[in-house]
Amino acid sequence: MNDLFEGSEEYGTPSVTLTGQPVRSKGEKIIADYLTGHGVAYYYEATATANWFIFQTKISKPDFYLPQYNLFVEYWGLVDSPDARTRDDYIRSMRWKMAQYRKNNIRFVSIYPSNLSNLDYYFRRKFRDVMGFDFPIRPVAQICPTCHIQVLDMPLHIKWHATVTRA
């Protein structure tokens, strides 16, 4: 059952996030860029540590882990797979994984492909349901003193300046 989460099965179109992080699908890119745009630190498919164990072995690598909230975000990108067998196996494994999270009181948010068209609404609603408080409002744009453009993530933008200067 864990093969779906750890194998190299056809998962989606590999993409690269705004921060340069390679991800396995366009949906994961959208979520990662959303989190970055809101100034939320995350680990992508981080290697499980002792704190993330369920039973005595890990379930899988979570798509995203938000350390400041101790919250997992799972993108269930294959629930709409056109291949019936892939879809059915994926949904069965997805339900098992969700049950393990619930059984072990691990907080998680599920995002589905249908949520991506209005990710801000769905993520905020699901975050509030799980965490009991509202997801922080998007950071206020600042003007970069060097290039005079509006920037949402000044530390990231400063790193970009450093790489451009070196090139």
- Could you give the 3-state DSSP secondary structure of residue 73? strand
Are 144 and 123 members of one domain? Answer: no
Among candidates 61, 45, 46, which has minimal Cα distance to 2? 61
Task: Quote the tokens at residue 40.
Answer: 């939320």
The dihedrals phi and psi of 127, each to the nearest 5 degrees, come to -60, -50
Stated pTM of the model: 0.73
**What is the span of the domain harbouring residue 30?**
3-136
Residue 139: what pLDDT? Answer: 63
* Crossing angle for the helix pair 119-131 and 26-37, to the nearest 10 degrees: 70
d(CA 122, CA 46): 24
In the chain, what percentage of residues exceed pLDDT 70?
80
Are 158 and 126 members of one domain? Answer: no
4 and 59 Cβ atoms separated by less than 8 Å: no
Q: What pLDDT digit, counting tens, does each position of 56-112 carry? A: 456 567 899 999 999 999 999 999 999 999 999 999 999 988 998 888 788 999 999
Are 155 and 167 members of one domain? Answer: yes
- Could you give the 3-state DSSP secondary structure of residue 64? strand
Q: What pLDDT digit, counting tens, does each position of 102-119 carry? A: 887 889 999 999 999 999
Are 145 and 130 members of one domain? Answer: no
Are 106 and 62 members of one domain? Answer: yes
Are 150 and 119 members of one domain? Answer: no
Are 103 and 124 members of one domain? Answer: yes
